Chains A and B, each alone.
Chain A
Amino acid sequence: MVKHYRPPGKKKEGNAAKFVIRSQALKQLQISLPLFRKLCILKGVTPREPKKKFKGTHQTYYHVKDIAFLHHEPLVEIHRAIRVHERKIKKAEAKKNHERANRLREKTPKPKIDRIIRQRYPRFVDALGELDDCLTMVHLFAALPASESKKIEVESVHKCRRLAHEWQAFISRTHKLRKTFVSVKGIYYQAEVEGQTITWLTPHSLQQVVSDDVDIITMLNFLQLYEPLLSFVNFRLYHSINLKYPPILDPRLESLAADLYALSRYVSGNTRLSVVNSEALQSESEKIETKQNEAETGTEKSELRLAQLQHQLPSNEPGALMHLVEEVTGEDEEDQDTKECKKLFKNMKFFLSREVPRESLLFVIPAFGGIVSWEGQGAPFGESDQSITHQIVDRESQGHRFLSREYIQPQWVYDCVNARIILPTENYLVGRIPPPHLSPFIDYDEEGAYIPDYAKTIKHLQAAARKEVLFLPGVGKEDLEDPQSLLVEGVIDRAEANDAARRKQKMMILEQQYHDDLKKELQGVTHTSAGSKETSTGVVPTGESTTNVQENEDDMGKLMMSRKKRKLLEAMQISNKRKQAQHDLIKQRKKKIEEAQSQRS
Chain B
Amino acid sequence: MKGKKKTMTQNDDEGAPSPSEKLPSPVVSDYDSESDSDYEVAPRNTIGDVPLKWYEDEPHIGYDIKGKKIKKKEKQDKLDSFLANVDDSKNWRKIYDEYNDETIELTKDEIKLVRRLLKNRAPHPDFDPYQDYVDWFKWDDAKHPLSNAPEPKRRFIPSKWEAKKVVKYVRAIRNGYNPFDKPKEEDGPYLLWGDDSGSTEKANYLSYIPAPKQKLPGHDESYNPPLEYIPTQEEINAYQLMFEEDRPKFIPKRFTSMRSIPAYENAMKDCFERCLDLYLCPRVRKKRLNIDPESLKPKLPSRKELKPYPITCYIEYKGHEDAVTSISVEASGQWMASGSSDGTVRIWEVETGRCLKRWEVGEAVNCVAWNPLPDIHILAVCVGQDVLLLNTCLGDEEEQKCIKELLWVDSTIASDDSGNKAPSVSWLKDDKHMGLRLRHFKTVTALEWHRKGDYFSTSFELLIHQLSKKLTQKLPFKLHGLAVRSTFHPSRSIFFVCTKQSVRVYDLLKTKIIKKLDTGLREASSIAVHPGGDNLIVGSKEGKMCWFDMDLSSKPYKILKCHPKDINNVIFHRSYPLFASCSDDCTAYVFHGMVYSDLNQNPLIVPLEILRGHTSSNGRGILDCKFHPRQPWLFTAGADKLIKLYCH
Q: Which residues of A contact B (CB under 8 A)?
A: 37, 40-41, 44, 46-49, 60-61, 63, 65-66, 69, 106-107, 110, 114, 117-127, 129-130, 132-133, 136-137, 140, 144, 181-186, 188, 199, 203-204, 206-211, 213-215, 218-219, 222, 228, 231-232, 234-236, 239, 245-246, 355-357, 394-395, 409-411, 433-434, 436-439, 441-442, 452-454, 523-524, 527, 531, 534-544, 548, 552, 555-561, 563, 565, 568-569, 572-573, 576, 586-587, 589-590, 593
Known A-B contacts A219-B275, A561-B297; A181 and B211 likewise in contact (beta carbons under 8 Å): no
Known A-B contacts A206-B263, A438-B219, A531-B315; A536 and B210 likewise in contact (beta carbons under 8 Å): no
26 sampled A-B residue pairs with Cβ under 8 A = A46-B278, A60-B280, A123-B196, A125-B196, A133-B274, A181-B222, A204-B263, A211-B265, A219-B272, A235-B191, A236-B193, A410-B258, A437-B225, A439-B222, A452-B228, A536-B354, A539-B315, A540-B318, A542-B312, A542-B316, A544-B313, A548-B610, A552-B610, A556-B610, A568-B289, A589-B231
Residues of A within 8 A of B216 (CB): 188, 199, 439, 441
Question: Is B259 in the interface zone, CB < 8 Å from A?
Answer: yes
Contact A538 B317 (CB under 8 A): yes
Kindly provide the distance from the CB of A52 to the nearest chain B CB, expressed in whole angstroms: 14
Contact A47 B280 (CB under 8 A): yes
Q: Which of A121, A219, A232, A590 sits near B189, CB closer than 8 Å?
A: A232
Residues of A within 8 A of B612 (CB): 548
Residues of B within 8 A of A140 (CB): 267-268, 271
Contact A438 B222 (CB under 8 A): yes
Considering only residues 222-247 of chain B, those with a C-beta below 8 Å from chain A are 222-229, 231-232
Kindly provide the distance from the CB of A383 to the nearest chain B CB, expressed in whole angstroms: 18
Helix, strand, loop or mixed for chain B's interface? loop
- Which of B200-208, B373-381, B418-426 is the contact stretch? B200-208
Binary interface encoding of chain B residues 410-452 relative to chain A, with 1 for a CB under 8 A from any of its CBs, else 0: 0000000000000000000000000000000000000000000
Q: Which residues of B contact A (CB under 8 A)?
A: 183, 186, 188-193, 196, 198-199, 201, 203, 205-206, 208-211, 213-214, 216-219, 221-229, 231-232, 250, 252-253, 255-259, 261-272, 274-276, 278-284, 289, 293, 296-298, 300, 303, 311-319, 351-355, 560-562, 589, 605-610, 612-613, 647
Residues of A within 8 A of B647 (CB): 527
Contact A589 B228 (CB under 8 A): yes
Known A-B contacts A117-B192, A235-B191; A203 and B267 likewise in contact (beta carbons under 8 Å): yes
Contact B193 A123 (CB under 8 A): yes
Residues of B within 8 A of A537 (CB): 353-354
The residue of chain B having its C-beta at the shortest distance from the C-beta of A37 within the complex is B279
The residue of chain B having its C-beta at the shortest distance from the C-beta of A557 within the complex is B297
How far, in angstroms, from A203 to B518 measured CA to CA in the complex? 65
Residues of B within 8 A of A41 (CB): 278-279
Contact B282 A437 (CB under 8 A): no
10 more contacts with CB within 8 A, not counting A127-B193, A182-B261, are A41-B278, A132-B214, A203-B263, A204-B262, A436-B225, A436-B227, A536-B352, A537-B354, A541-B314, A589-B229
Residues of A within 8 A of B223 (CB): 182-184, 437
Residues of B within 8 A of A222 (CB): 275, 278-279
Contact B353 A538 (CB under 8 A): yes
Contact A208 B268 (CB under 8 A): yes
Contact A211 B190 (CB under 8 A): no
The residue of chain A having its C-beta at the shortest distance from the C-beta of B200 within the complex is A122
Known A-B contacts A236-B192, A441-B217, A561-B298; A44 and B208 likewise in contact (beta carbons under 8 Å): yes
How far, in angstroms, from A544 to B183 measured CA to CA in the complex? 94
Residues of B within 8 A of A558 (CB): 297
Residues of A within 8 A of B269 (CB): 211, 213-214
Kindly provide the distance from the CB of B263 to the nearest chain A CB, expressed in whole angstroms: 4
Kindly provide the distance from the CB of B40 to the nearest chain A CB, expressed in whole angstroms: 48
Known A-B contacts A441-B218, A527-B314, A531-B315; A184 and B263 likewise in contact (beta carbons under 8 Å): no
Contact B192 A114 (CB under 8 A): yes
Contact A122 B316 (CB under 8 A): no
Contact B224 A565 (CB under 8 A): no
Kindly provide the distance from the CB of A241 to the nearest chain B CB, expressed in whole angstroms: 14
Residues of B within 8 A of A46 (CB): 209, 278-283
Contact B300 A454 (CB under 8 A): no
Kindly provide the distance from the CB of B78 to the nearest chain A CB, expressed in whole angstroms: 45
How far, in angstroms, from A345 to B30 measured CA to CA in the complex? 83
Residues of A within 8 A of B313 (CB): 542, 544
Kindly provide the distance from the CB of B308 to the nearest chain A CB, expressed in whole angstroms: 12
Kindly provide the distance from the CB of A391 to the nearest chain B CB, expressed in whole angstroms: 15
Contact A565 B296 (CB under 8 A): yes
Contact A183 B281 (CB under 8 A): no
Residues of A within 8 A of B196 (CB): 123-125
Residues of A within 8 A of B353 (CB): 534-539
Residues of A within 8 A of B226 (CB): 436, 438, 452-454
The residue of chain B having its C-beta at the shortest distance from the C-beta of A117 within the complex is B192
Kindly provide the distance from the CB of B276 to the nearest chain A CB, expressed in whole angstroms: 7
How far, in angstroms, from A438 to B317 measured CA to CA in the complex? 67
Contact A185 B280 (CB under 8 A): no
Residues of B within 8 A of A65 (CB): 205-206
Residues of A within 8 A of B311 (CB): 544
Residues of B within 8 A of A409 (CB): 257-258
Kindly provide the distance from the CB of B559 to the nearest chain A CB, expressed in whole angstroms: 9
How far, in angstroms, from A127 to B198 measured CA to CA in the complex? 14
Contact B352 A539 (CB under 8 A): yes
How far, in angstroms, from A559 to B607 measured CA to CA in the complex? 7
How far, in angstroms, from A338 to B250 measured CA to CA in the complex? 34
Contact A586 B229 (CB under 8 A): yes
